[in-house]
C-alpha cells in the first residue's frame, strides 16, 4: 500500500488500538517510528515489537494535552531519527454523554486531548517537515466528526473540529509541500470501543453486535484504519491533501 522507506514518523496514541496498528504498519513499510503515549509502558511494548521485527523505533511518554510534553515528544523523535517527515495525530478519548450530563472538566479534557493535541503536535512538527522539504500529517477523526451521534456531544464536537482543522492546515501548508489529511473511522475494535459500552452501562458483546450493523456487516479492525493511513502517508497519495477519508464499512453511506 505504501513505501515509507527512510521516512521518520511520530504517532501519538501509539500504545494501543488504531495508533499501535499505524505504528506497526509504518514500520513495516520502512519508516522509523516514535511511539508517543501517556501510557509509557504500552509505548515501550510497541517500540519493542518494532525493534524485534528489525525496525527503528523510540518510545516517548507524552501527555498530548500539555504543550511542554508535545514539544519534547517532537524534539525527541526528531533527535532520534535525524528529522521528522510524518506525524499521525491519533490520541483520543471519548465521553458518552449528552451536554446536560457532561461536566465542564470532562468537556475541557476531551477537547484538550482530541483537538488541542493536533494543534500542539503539528505546531512543533511542521518546522521539522519544512526543514526536510515537506511532510505529511494524518489526523484521526471519526465518522461522528461528519454527522451527529447520540450521547456523545463533546466527542462529536471535538472530532468535527479535527476535520475542519485538517482542511485549514492543508491550505496553509501546501506551499511548504506539507500534506494534511484526515481519516474518519467508524466503530473499530479497540479498547476505547469497549470502554464506550461500559460508559453506557451496556453489555460489551451486545454493544459490539449493534456496532456491526452496517453495510459490510462488521466493525472495523485497527489494521483497516492503518492501511488507509499507510496509503495517505505515502507517495501514492502525493496529490491528496485536505481530504477526509471515511473508513467505516459503509456506515455513513445511507
Residue 231 annotated in active site: no
User: Cell match 451486545: residue?
Assistant: 206
Roughly what angle, to the nearest 10 degrees, separates helices 67-81 and 117-132? Answer: 30
> What sign for the dihedral angle of Cα 44, 143, 26, 113?
negative
Q: Considering the candidates 10, 36, 155, 156, report the single residue annotated as catalytic.
A: 155
Q: Which residues contact 175 (CB under 8 A, 6 or more apart)?
A: none
Supply φ then ψ for residue 199, to 5 degrees.
-60, -35
* Cβ atoms of residues 30 and 7 within 8 Å: yes
How many helical (H) and strand (E) elements, i.e. helices and strands, does the chain have? 9, 7
Q: Using CA atoms, how far apart are residues 176 and 134, in angstroms rounded to an integer? A: 6
Compute φ and ψ for 247, nearest 5 degrees: -125, 85
Angle, CA of 121, 50 and 33, to the nearest 5°? 25
Q: How far is 218 from 222, CA to CA, in rounded Å?
A: 13
Q: Is 232 helix (H, G, I), strand (E, B) or coil?
A: helix
CB 4 within 8 A of CB 29: yes
Helix ranges (DSSP H) in the chain: 17-28, 40-52, 67-81, 104-111, 117-132, 153-173, 191-199, 204-211, 222-233
Residues assigned a catalytic role: 155
Amino acid at each position: 500500500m505504501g513505501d515509507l522507506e527512510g521516512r521518520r514518523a511520530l504517532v501519538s496514541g501509539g500504545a494501543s488500538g488504531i495508533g499501535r496498528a499505524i505504528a506497526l504498519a509504518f514500520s513495516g513499510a520502512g519508516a522509523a517510528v516514535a511511539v508517543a503515549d501517556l501510557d509509557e509502558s504500552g509505548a515501550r511494548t510497541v517500540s519493542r515489537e518494532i525493534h524485534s521485527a528489525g525496525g527503528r523505533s523510540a518510545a516517548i511518554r507524552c501527555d498530548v494535552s500539555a504543550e511542554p510534553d508535545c514539544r519534547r515528544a517532537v524534539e525527541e523523535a526528531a533527535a532520534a531519527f535525524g528529522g521528522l517527515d510524518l506525524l499521525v495525530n491519533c490520541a483520543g478519548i471519548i465521553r458518552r454523554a449528552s451536554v446536560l450530563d457532561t461536566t465542564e472538566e470532562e468537556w475541557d479534557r476531551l477537547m484538550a486531548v482530541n483537538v488541542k493535541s493536533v494543534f500542539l503536535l503539528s505546531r512543533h512538527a511542521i518546522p521539522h517537515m519544512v526543514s526536510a522539504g515537506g511532510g505529511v500529517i494524518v489526523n484521526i477523526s471519526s465518522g461522528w466528526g461528519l454527522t451527529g451521534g447520540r450521547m456523545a456531544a463533546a466527542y462529536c464536537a471535538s472530532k468535527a473540529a479535527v476535520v475542519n482543522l485538517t482542511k485549514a492546515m492543508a491550505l496553509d501548508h501546501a506551499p511548504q509541500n506539507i500534506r494534511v489529511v484526515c481519516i474518519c473511522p467508524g466503530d473499530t475494535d479497540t479498547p476505547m470501543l469497549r470502554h464506550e459500552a461500559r460508559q453506557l452501562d451496556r453489555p460489551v458483546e451486545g454493544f459490539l453486535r449493534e456496532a456491526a450493523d452496517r453495510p459490510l456487516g462488521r466493525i472495523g479492525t485497527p489494521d483497516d484504519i492503518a492501511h488507509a493511513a499507510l496509503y495517505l502517508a505515502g507517495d501514492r497519495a502525493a496529490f491528496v491533501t485536505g481530504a477526509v477519508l471515511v473508513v467505516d464499512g459503509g456506515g455513513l453511506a445511507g
